[in-house]
Amino acid sequence: MCPECGGLGRKLGANTELFLDESKSLNEGAIRYPGYGPGNWEWNILNESGLLDMDRKIADYPKEERDLLLYGKARTVSVKFGGKAINITFEGIIEKFTNKYIKKDLNGYSAGTQKTVEPYIVMGPCNLCNGSRLSPQALGVKIGNYNIAELQAMEVDELVEVIRNLSAPEAEPILAALESRLTHLCDIGDRLHKTITNRRGRKLPPPFAKCPVTDTAMQKVFVDRKLPLIETQIVESGEIT
Ligand SMILES: [Zn+2]
């Protein structure tokens, strides 16, 4: 299970697109989030830190500088305010927002703060497992050249080819059974596709005289979902009883 999202594949994160107007520089007000406008407190910290190019458009930032602006970890910098040098904490804007609002219970803040913050929080794919829900250790295991998430994302016919080309004598019975089942699924898919295609072409296909559907769970799906043509033809074929 992915430790970052707890196995959900998705997690709350900051809406970066809403945070930034990438066509502007920091001096032009590139950060839309309140408090970062030119002259505001947070903007002053960025400006006085000396770490960022305040005149370059965000879209033109090199990756390293962009990562610092967005995700930079907290660090102490010496800045001058009112002629005095003081130490303050510089932190990337998304990093700071995440630590302050996403990793904490938003209900602990005032209604006004919640209303301001909520639009900037979105549910998106987990950045560690990319939605696979698996831990880095599980994703590190390869079957052939693929990890389990990549195999899971494949179309069935593509997966059949991968299974067919695997060389693992010790797992031969399992691979043979798997290939057989996947091939069977492909056959069913082909028949359904032909039926729907022909139906749209107004010429109905002959009944599934030799439909190989014998799996009762699959029959139940057809019947429960009330696919009239398919259901009727399969039942009439007498092959699924
Ligand atoms: Zn995850």
**Residue 237 contacts residue 209 (beta carbons within 8 Å):** yes
Kindly give the distance from the C-alpha atom of residue 33 to the centroid of ligand 1, in angstroms, as a whole number. Answer: 27
Backbone Cα Rg of the chain: 28
Is the pLDDT reported for residue 216 higher than 70? no
More confident site: 202 or 148: 148
Please state which architecture CATH assigns to domain 15-118: Orthogonal Bundle (1.10)
Kindly give the distance from the C-alpha atom of residue 9 to the centroid of ligand 1, in angstroms, as a whole number. Answer: 5
Q: Where are the domains of the chain?
A: 15-118, 154-204, 206-241
For 140, other C-beta atoms within 10 Å of its C-beta total: 9
- Give residue 198's pLDDT band: very low, low, confident or very high (50, 70, 90): low
d(C-alpha 53, C-alpha 24), whole Å? 12
- Give residue 105's pLDDT band: very low, low, confident or very high (50, 70, 90): confident
- pLDDT score of 46: 93
In the chain, the DSSP E strands lie at 10-14, 75-81, 84-90, 121-125, 142-143, 146-147
Kindly give the distance from the C-alpha atom of residue 157 to the centroid of ligand 1, in angstroms, as a whole number. Answer: 28
3-state secondary structure of 123: strand
- Give residue 190's pLDDT band: very low, low, confident or very high (50, 70, 90): confident
More confident site: 220 or 66: 66
Kindly give the distance from the C-alpha atom of residue 16 to the centroid of ligand 1, in angstroms, as a whole number. Answer: 19
Kindly give the distance from the C-alpha atom of residue 125 to the centroid of ligand 1, in angstroms, as a whole number. Answer: 8
> Can you list the alpha helix ranges (DSSP code H) found in 140-240?
148-152, 156-164, 172-200, 216-224, 228-237
**Residue 40 contacts residue 4 (beta carbons within 8 Å):** no
More confident site: 167 or 74: 74
Kindly give the distance from the C-alpha atom of residue 137 to the centroid of ligand 1, in angstroms, as a whole number. Answer: 12
Kindly give the distance from the C-alpha atom of residue 231 to the centroid of ligand 1, in angstroms, as a whole number. Answer: 40
3-state secondary structure of 12: strand
Phi-psi region of 29 (alpha: psi -120 to 50; beta: other; left: phi over 0): left
Mean pLDDT of 79-83: 76
Kindly give the distance from the C-alpha atom of residue 113 to the centroid of ligand 1, in angstroms, as a whole number. Answer: 28
Q: Provide the token pair at 67.
A: 């990562």
Kindly give the distance from the C-alpha atom of residue 122 to the centroid of ligand 1, in angstroms, as a whole number. Answer: 15
Kindly give the distance from the C-alpha atom of residue 11 to the centroid of ligand 1, in angstroms, as a whole number. Answer: 8
d(C-alpha 152, C-alpha 156), whole Å? 9
Q: Provide the token pair at 180.
A: 């057989």
Kindly give the distance from the C-alpha atom of residue 154 to the centroid of ligand 1, in angstroms, as a whole number. Answer: 20
Mean pLDDT of 105-114: 91
Kindly give the distance from the C-alpha atom of residue 136 to the centroid of ligand 1, in angstroms, as a whole number. Answer: 9
Phi-psi region of 240 (alpha: psi -120 to 50; beta: other; left: phi over 0): alpha
Tens of pLDDT, residues 126-157: 888 888 889 999 999 988 889 998 998 888 88
